[in-house]
Amino acid sequence: MVHPSDDVLAVIDDAARASAAIEALRASGFTEADIHVFRGREEIGALARAWWRHSGVPAFLAPILAAVLSDERDVEEIYESEGLAGHTVLAVHTRSADDVERATRVLRDSGAHDTWYFGRWTMAPLSPAGRHAK
C-alpha cells in the first residue's frame, strides 16, 4: 500500500473481530486487493514510512511538513500507536461514495474506531475519535 488515497482506514482492537471484518468486507463486495491489513511493529512501520515516501516529499522535509500538516500527522500517529499496541489497522480502497459508505458501515458494525477517509487531497473522520479525542 502507498500513501492512503481513496482509502478508508480504521482500527479494530481484537484480532478475531478484525478477521471477521475482513470477511464481511469481502462479502460486501470488496476484493482481496482492496483490503490491506497492518499488524505488528514491522507492518505499522511500513505504513508510517509509506505515508511520506509516496507523497513525493523529500525525506529530509517530511518532519517539517508533518509539523505544518498537523491534522494528517495526528491521524498517522493514531494508527501507528494503535498498531504498535497490537491492534489491527485496516485500509479499504474505495472507488465511489457508495464504497466509502459501505466500508464505513461494515467497519463500524465490526467494532472499528478511529475511522478516517483519505481522498486525494482531503481527509475526513468517519467515526468518533474514540480514546484519541483531544
Model pLDDT, residue 124: 86
> Is 134 a member of any domain?
no
- Give me the domain span that covers residue 56: 7-127
Largest CA distance in the chain: 42
> Is 74 a member of any domain?
yes
> Is 132 a member of any domain?
no
> Is 46 a member of any domain?
yes
Is the pLDDT confidence value at 127 over 80?
Answer: yes
- Whole-angstrom distance, CA of residue 25 vs CA of residue 22: 5
> Is 2 a member of any domain?
no
> Is 42 a member of any domain?
yes
> Is 94 a member of any domain?
yes
- 36-82 confidence digits (pLDDT tens): 998 876 677 666 666 544 445 445 444 544 554 545 567 777 888 88
Q: Where are the alpha helices (DSSP H) in 28-131?
A: 40-53, 62-68, 70-84, 97-109
pTM tops 0.75: yes
Q: How many domains does the chain have?
A: 1
